[in-house]
A and B are shown apart, each in its own frame.
Chain A
């Protein structure tokens, strides 16, 4: 009797966990509740294409990534990142270290490391965009 009850409770609880379809289940693990870009960049539920860009990011002019202007912008941008984000982005992108090694050294799970890198890159991209297309949509 108790065994049956416990199983019933466990099953009910699991059913509550089941998102409505398969797709939502995978992505739930990959998406963070805190968005990487401000939600205002995307259309709301009432607009024609919810969750799609409200306005596309403006295209960049052809650039030489080594150009002083670009490098200066990046240097200031990196300077302003939170310490852990800076460590991750420098190790992964500047020093080209392996993801697993970086997670291990800083003491992050691979998922945390990836989330941080994604945010740090997005923030640096936005800085560059503001510099390269001064009056556009970054």
Chain B
């Protein structure tokens, strides 16, 4: 109970600090040309073949740039990477709006790829570190990233509606230029945002070692590897739902008018999922287990039903569950990764999910052509089952953090060094419960490493007491 109360309390500084970020993300999500892009492309002479070329060019840019841009964000500044991303979006919209032929538009699509690559993994790394800086722990990460996803998807939905209206009322081309001011204000908001500095607190490392460290974290650490796989498969499956979901409607000969509301529903799951995540307690194994079973069940429904309503409901539910699981996976990933490689590793998820999606989409296409879309739903079900298993594994591997499953009998009698390090301040403040305090002392008496650590913390505190430092008030703070 008390834990739940503590989680609910967001410090003023955290709430205040994340305002400019939410404004920026919201404005960046107002891309008015998205709903009418296909229309514009046919107007300037795209054929199915050139659309495919564009998709390929685009697909090449994003995975190539994602991890390098993440590493750059970790080494330089995550905020400025977001500013660069906005500039890429600005350039892409401008060039797109000015295009009168296919090659120029493909150029603008590739710049859009740069935008996505820079964006990928950056916002969630920023949010994670800000939450850690303002609360000392990551418990509120899911709540805040959920809110930010909500703002983002609200902007997507609003701009989809507004873009359609604007195009109908004036011209399709105008939607590109009308996007520019929003992005420009987003840049200003990013510049006002006080970015976290934890990733720079560590000693500077040579670029080569930093790159090696980023890849090593992704590949070697078993916990991280498993969660990366989970996150990547979630990315793969949600992309598949968005990309192939409409095929079910086509196969069932849905009326054209249904596609708009259907799509709006699918996109709105991004926000609703974010909202639900902020309300759910995903530390609960029960909740996680339900999620792990519900996702394959929704995918399974797609292989069984011939009813249009059921198909739409199943797809929406699946998309919603995937949003929640992806936020959870992001939390677990960030928990296992140090600040200084956070954005790099987090971008790695995007790349991995691209790499998995390419073969998946080929197999899906082949399967759907030969056996029908409904049967291809089995591929989605298989992916959802895998996600469910990985999610369960993460839930049941994580909780006994305090005690590895192997020595259940031994662990309750002691605090290990890794726990002791977390408990030092509570111990020195005299607020540990008596039992825990005893265990702490027992361990301290028997462990040379820990007694040295605690002695050094004590010396640090004594040195701090002699420091001649004053509290400099925050520039904007009117603390009372």
Contacts and interface: CB of A to CB of B under 8 A. Distances in A.
- Chain B binds chain A: yes
B464 A124 contact: yes
A45 B406 contact: yes
5 contacts: A24-B402, A52-B417, A53-B449, A129-B456, A130-B203
B284 A112 contact: no
Contact of B471 (A22, A50, A90): A90
Contact of B136 (A19, A96, A107, A118): A118
Contacts of A128: 456, 459-460, 463
Contact of A121 (B3, B415, B461): B461
Interface of B: 2-3, 6, 9, 11-13, 132-139, 194, 196-198, 200-201, 203, 221, 284-286, 289, 331, 334-336, 338, 399-404, 406-408, 411-412, 415-419, 421-426, 429, 431-433, 435-436, 439, 447-450, 452-453, 456-457, 459-471, 474, 479
A59 B467 contact: no
Contacts of A35: 418, 421-422
A3 interface: no
Contact of A106 (B13, B433, B467): B13
Interface of A: 12-13, 16-17, 19-24, 26-39, 42, 45, 50-53, 56-57, 59-60, 63, 65-66, 70-71, 74-75, 78, 80-85, 87, 89-91, 93-96, 99, 105-119, 121-125, 128-130
Contacts of B196: 82
B169 to A, nearest CB: 47
Given A114-B426, A123-B201, A94 B136 contact: no
Nearest to B415: A27
Given A39-B418, A71-B463, A108-B11, 12 more contacts: A16-B289, A24-B403, A30-B436, A34-B137, A34-B138, A37-B421, A50-B416, A84-B11, A93-B464, A94-B465, A114-B426, A124-B464
A111 B400 contact: no
Nearest to A32: B137
Contacts of B479: 105
A35 B137 CA distance: 9
Given A51-B418, A129-B456, A96 B465 contact: yes
A80 B464 contact: no
A111 B452 contact: no
B402 A27 contact: yes
Nearest to A65: B463
Given A23-B403, A71-B466, A32 B416 contact: no
B452 A59 contact: yes
Contact of A51 (B194, B289, B417, B453): B417
Nearest to B403: A24
A84 B404 contact: no
Interface centre among A35, A70, A118 (most CB of B within 10 A): A118
A130 B406 CA distance: 35
Interface centre among B399, B424, B435 (most CB of A within 10 A): B424
Contacts of A123: 201
A65 B412 CA distance: 37
Interface centre among B11, B285, B338, B422 (most CB of A within 10 A): B422
Contacts of A94: 464-465, 467, 469
B424 A115 contact: no
A119 B136 contact: yes
B13 A51 contact: no
A53 B461 CA distance: 22
Nearest to B430: A99
B435 A125 contact: no
B2 A107 contact: no
A60 B401 CA distance: 31
A73 B201 CA distance: 14
A66 to B, nearest CB: 5
Nearest to A56: B449
B461 to A, nearest CB: 5
Given A26-B433, A26-B435, A51-B416, A115 B137 contact: yes
Contacts of B419: 27, 31, 51
B466 to A, nearest CB: 5
Contacts of A29: 2-3
A1 B236 CA distance: 43
Contacts of A51: 404, 416-419
Nearest to B453: A57
A70 B417 CA distance: 26
Interface centre among A19, A26, A30, A124 (most CB of B within 10 A): A30
Contacts of B399: 19, 24, 28
Contacts of B334: 34
